[in-house]
Amino acid sequence: MSGRIPIGSAVLLTGVITAIGYSIMALTTPTDQEMYDRLSPDLKRKVDEARRMQAGAQNELARESKSRLDAIRAQAQNDSPVWADSESTKK
């Protein structure tokens, strides 16, 4: 029986080590706002510009999605098949 590892002790030790590691990580990792506050003014301007560009891209994507949805809704109102040419259905 010598040489056997007690399972309960091993699980408890693993849990304690994991809890200590997570606590250290949580205490030492800065939040996004703390990181932003530590940046130099030049880097803050670059971050702000990137955020504005990302917001603009999201707005443009929303507009494109809305226009596609409107086109799909318009096609759904039409009784002709989807694969038919729009010119041939007008004749």
Q: How far apart are CA 38 and CA 30, in angstroms?
A: 10
The mean pLDDT value for 83-90 works out to 64
Q: What is the pLDDT of residues 31-45, one digit of tens each?
A: 999 999 999 999 999
Cβ atoms 36, 47 nearer than 8 A: yes
Q: What is the pLDDT of residues 52-83, one digit of tens each?
A: 999 889 889 999 999 999 988 888 888 777 77
Q: How far apart are CA 27 and CA 80, in angstroms?
A: 63
| pLDDT at residue 2, as a whole number | 60
- Whether 89 shows a pLDDT value over 70: the answer reads no
